[in-house]
């Protein structure tokens, strides 16, 4: 069609008919109200993005994978579920090497303790602890990261109880398993995109060095933190160490990071494995066998050892556009920059083309997101509009993290404000598209902001299984209509190539539009 196509991804904004706790519907969003008149709902969860079942909520990683490659790959939890069920995981050389390395020492598990299924699943941890005992491991230490983000905000002790019951069942004269340290996932260890290395440093001191406030149990740590900080939710709980557990990480130990999602696993993996690491003073670097549940970055091989092979995503949209000399532009702030680059391009850290791909990143603030709900939407928009007006790029994309990142805080009023900031900036982008005859697409990668309370009135901080909007806007688009069909995020790639007038890859999911020739 010889027109620019601009894609706006509203991270974490789904569609729900329930107005209670719906920060999307209840916000003042005149621009989105107008845009929704030319939209269709599409799926962004479950099997539509490669997750085990349609009861599984979507997430940003698999959502951007699906949008960027036009296909559905088995992802995260499903890969690990299959590997455990078939026994492949425990027959893998990495598992055997990890077990043999620490036969006379300790096997450590570090990861997110919940059944949210976005970054990890508690069932995977329980199965590995069981197998470790069968394989002759005598000493198991578990370092728990508490969720409250992909699961109810104060549900940590439910998962602690499940884990402690399993350890109690397994513990005997030949085996000693216990929780040795922990803290909230947004306080320690699970930083991403190098937004706050201080989180990883706190995790290192907690898990490796055993430094921090001590308690007699994870339950005591949790209850004390809540008593001292009544408004605290699980993801922000302070680091803790359990007394008299001998849980520090030492030479000759093995460490398994049991998260399967990569973005929040890369930095702690680097701290364990990089010889010339310089992001913080590690004080002491134990000689351990370190493995990830998956290889979190296959391009730069972080980590070297992993238990389950990640999906090998090929034939992406970017690869197809490069064949036709299409210039691309991508921008977001730190929190979602990797999603419009690394995940969009099929988990590839490097560009496919240095000349045809341009990336810009806006640095995120290091504060709780509900304290500044606009986040960096205005700065992202400034850069996005400047890029649109250059007429240099045929395809441009940006991500507004607000609905997801502010929604995860559980602060409904702040999330409403975040949606109003997104709406204002989408209005600015609409005007730029009008001025440049650019076609604008608006989509979301999964739900979140539209469901911030449940049917009982409890605060919800997690993603949802709701559909998301797919919006089409621009001058003179009467010849473009939506097809009827059961569409998901993977149908976006063919839709974009149709609009750009280049062939789609025949293995992709079909386009969501019809274009009537003049």
pLDDT of the residue at 1: 58
- What pLDDT sits at residue 298? 65
Q: What pLDDT score does 76 carry?
A: 81
Q: Round to whole Å and give the CA distance between 177 and 106.
A: 10
What pLDDT, on the 0 to 100 scale, is given for residue 327?
98
Half-sphere exposure of 304 (CA within 13 A, CB side): 9
CA distance linking residue 200 with residue 126, whole number of Å: 25
Residues β-bridged to residue 6: 396, 440
Locate the domains of the chain by residue range.
5-75+312-515, 77-308
Q: What is the pTM of this model?
A: 0.75
Given 60, 120, 462, 511, the catalytic residue? 60
List the pLDDT tens digit at each of the 518 positions of the chain.
579 999 999 999 999 999 999 999 999 999 999 999 999 999 999 999 998 888 888 889 899 999 999 999 988 888 999 999 999 999 999 999 999 999 999 999 999 999 998 899 999 999 999 999 999 999 999 999 999 999 999 999 999 999 999 999 999 999 999 999 999 999 999 998 788 999 999 999 999 999 999 999 999 999 999 999 999 999 999 999 999 999 999 999 999 999 998 889 999 999 999 999 999 999 999 999 999 999 887 657 899 999 998 788 999 999 999 999 999 999 999 999 999 999 999 989 899 999 999 999 999 999 999 999 999 999 999 999 999 999 999 999 999 999 999 999 999 999 999 999 999 999 999 999 999 999 999 999 999 999 999 888 989 888 999 999 999 999 999 999 999 999 999 999 999 999 999 999 999 999 999 999 86
46-73 burial, b at 16+ Cβ within 10 Å, e below that, comes to: bbbbbbbeeebbbbbbbbbbbbbbbbbb
Q: Is 60 a catalytic residue?
A: yes
**The pair of three-digit structure tokens given for residue 18, joined into one six-digit string:** 């329930």
96's enclosing H/E stretch is: helix 93-101
- Of 49, 35, 19, nearest to 449 by C-alpha is 19
Rounded to whole angstroms, the Cα distance separating 458 from 299 reads 42
Q: Do domains 5-75+312-515 and 77-308 have the same CATH topology?
A: no
pLDDT score at 518: 67
Angstrom distance (rounded) from CA 358 to CA 2: 20
Tokens of 105: 């020492």
- Rounded-to-integer distance, Cα 137 and Cα 175, Å: 7
Return the CATH number of the domain spanning residue range 77-308.
3.40.1450.10
CB neighbour list of residue 14: distance below 8 Å, 6 or more residues apart? 24, 44, 444, 446, 447, 448, 449, 450, 451, 464, 466, 467, 468
Q: Which CATH architecture has domain 5-75+312-515?
A: 3-Layer(aba) Sandwich (3.40)
Could you check whether the bond before residue 281 is cis, i.e. omega within 30 degrees of 0? no
Helix ranges (H only) for 449-491 are none
């Amino acid at each position: 069609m010889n027109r620019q196509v601009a894609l706006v991804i509203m991270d974490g904004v789904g569609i729900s008919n329930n107005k209670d706790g719906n920060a999307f519907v209840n916000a003042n969003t005149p621009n989105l109200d107008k845009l929704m008149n030319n939209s269709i709902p599409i799926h962004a969860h479950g099997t539509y993005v490669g997750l085990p079942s349609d009861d599984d909520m979507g997430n940003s990683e698999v959502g951007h994978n699906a949008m960027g490659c036009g296909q559905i790959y088995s992802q995260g939890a499903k890969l690990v579920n299959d590997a455990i069920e078939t026994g492949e995981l425990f027959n893998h050389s990495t598992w055997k090497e990890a077990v043999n390395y620490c036969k006379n020492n300790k096997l450590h598990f570090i990861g997110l303790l919940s059944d949210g299924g976005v970054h990890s699943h508690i069932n995977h941890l329980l199965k590995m602890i069981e197998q470790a005992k069968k394989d002759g491991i005598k000493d198991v230490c578990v370092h728990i990261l508490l969720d409250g983000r992909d699961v109810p905000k104060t549900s940590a002790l439910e998962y602690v109880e499940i884990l402690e019951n399993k350890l109690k069942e397994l513990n005997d004269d030949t085996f000693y398993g216990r929780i040795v340290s922990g803290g909230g996932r947004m306080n320690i260890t699970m930083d991403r995109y190098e937004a706050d290395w201080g989180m990883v440093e706190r995790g290192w001191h907690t898990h490796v060095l055993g430094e921090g406030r001590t308690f007699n149990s994870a339950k005591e740590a949790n209850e004390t933190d809540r008593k001292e900080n009544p408004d605290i939710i699980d993801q922000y709980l302070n680091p803790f160490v359990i007394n008299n557990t001998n849980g520090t990480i030492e030479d000759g130990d093995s460490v398994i990071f049991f998260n399967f999602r990569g973005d929040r696993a890369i930095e702690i993996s680097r701290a364990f494995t990089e010889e010339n690491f310089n992001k913080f003073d590690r004080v002491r670097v134990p000689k351990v066998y370190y493995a990830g549940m998956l290889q979190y970055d296959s391009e730069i091989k972080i980590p070297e050892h992993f238990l389950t092979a990640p999906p090998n995503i090929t034939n992406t949209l970017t690869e197809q556009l490069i064949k036709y000399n299409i210039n691309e532009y991508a921008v977001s702030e730190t929190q979602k920059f990797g999603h419009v680059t690394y995940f969009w391009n099929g988990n590839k850290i490097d560009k496919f083309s240095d000349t045809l791909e341009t990336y810009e990143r806006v640095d995120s603030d290091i504060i709780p997101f509900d304290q500044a709900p606009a986040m960096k939407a205005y700065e992202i928009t400034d850069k996005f509009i400047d890029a649109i007006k250059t007429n240099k790029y045929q395809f441009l994309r940006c991500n507004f993290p607000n609905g997801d990142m502010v929604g995860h805080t559980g602060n409904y009023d702040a999330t409403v404000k975040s949606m109003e900031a997104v709406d204002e900036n989408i209005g600015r982008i609409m005007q730029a598209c009008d001025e440049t005859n650019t076609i604008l697409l608006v989509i979301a990668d999964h739900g979140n902001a539209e469901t911030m309370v449940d049917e009982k009135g409890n605060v919800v901080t997690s993603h949802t299984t709701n559909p998301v909007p797919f919006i089409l806007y621009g001058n003179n688009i009467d010849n473009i209509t939506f097809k009827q069909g059961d569409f998901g995020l993977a149908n976006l790639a063919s839709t974009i190539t149709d609009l750009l007038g280049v062939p789609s890859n025949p293995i992709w999911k079909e386009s969501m539009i019809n274009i009537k020739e003049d």
